[in-house]
Amino acid sequence: MRVLAAMSGGVDSAVAAARAVDAGHEVVGVHLALSAKPGTLRTGSRGCCTIEDSHDARRAADIMGIPFYIWDFAERFTEEVVETFVGEYAAGRTPNPCVTCNEKIKFEALLEKAMALGFDAVATGHYARLSVVDGVPELRRSADEGKDQSYVLASLTPVQLRHSMFPLGDSWKTEVRAEAEERGLSVANKPDSHDICFIPDGDTKKFLESRLGEHPGELVDAETGAVLGKHTGVHGFTIGQRKGLGIDAPAPDGKPRYVLSLEPVSGTVKVGSADNLGVHEIVANRPIWPSEAPLEGPTECAVQVRAHGGIADAVAEVVGDEVRVQLREPLRGVAPGQVVVLYRPDADGDLVLGSAKIAATA
């Protein structure tokens, strides 16, 4: 097959590309330039896609002896990922930009261009297992559950998955680094990227305020309605947040307060005790079924609401255009805008049944 290897400049994508070469595929490496100012997207181990990263990717491609190109996706990345991220926060929702990036950039924009150029598949360094059985994709958690990225891939369509390759799905991160060392790849010990790539200093609130400005509102006690303080915008908060609320006086019981809800129109941020954070029901929309098979009736499954953590047993059911999830035990910190992913354990590991965007909780 003709395979386009997406090479970020990190160890995972480099080893994934090398394994595609070893498998006998005709491989071409490509690095995606996602910023008009590439020097601004990395601070230590934070961020990605800098000029340094592109050089690292090129050196890895040279060692493998494969062609290498840099494709400018900066404009589309800004429109599809960055602006969507800002808009979601302005609306009081909590998005996951990595999910959006995989969906809109790596497996929509990149795959579209790859297919137009005659490639059969795109290979990436994601940690997830993918098989295609009788033409039906089956996406599962990776062998290394600590590095598993099936959550951020669960929004891919069956068509996209049929043209995707995840060569690291059966490997552990320690094995991948050791293999990179053996292959003489300079990125073998390069730190993993963390947090949001376009906010390399990790200060999401500052970034959002630079885009949205200040929209003052009140911090209100959810039970009494008492005004506890002022804030500069609901975009500075997310459900379940405890630190940085800007409330001077402690709660009457001395326990911490948490953000319980956001009302962007009125600018009200309601806070309260941890006891009120538990979510028992999730309503989600825009479902995607990787195997083209929607749920049939109430289905026992495990759900995950964050890339790392937020997992619980549940019963999920499709009702009209929505997916309704009844949790066996409550989850905290579940916010509209997040993605809920449904898993079913089977003999080969946790199979992704589907995903949907959280619209409401109860």
DSSP state of 158: H
Please count the other Cβ atoms lying within 10 Å of the Cβ belonging to residue 197.
23
CA distance linking residue 15 with residue 188, whole number of Å: 9
Please count the other Cβ atoms lying within 10 Å of the Cβ belonging to residue 195.
15
Report residue 266 as tokens.
């009125």
Element counts in the chain: helices (H) and strands (E): 10, 19
CA distance linking residue 82 with residue 47, whole number of Å: 14
Tokens 């993605």 — which residue? 339
Would you call 77 helix, strand, or coil by DSSP?
A: helix
Which residues are bridge partners to 324 per DSSP?
Answer: 283, 317
Would you call 230 helix, strand, or coil by DSSP?
A: strand
| Phi, psi torsion values for 64, nearest 5 degrees | -75, -20
Q: Closest Cα to residue 285, out of 356, 352, 335? A: 356
Tokens 């991220």 — which residue? 85
* Residues with catalytic roles: 101, 197
Give the contacts of 41 (CB within 8 A, at least 6 positions apart). 34, 35, 47, 48, 49, 50, 197, 198, 200
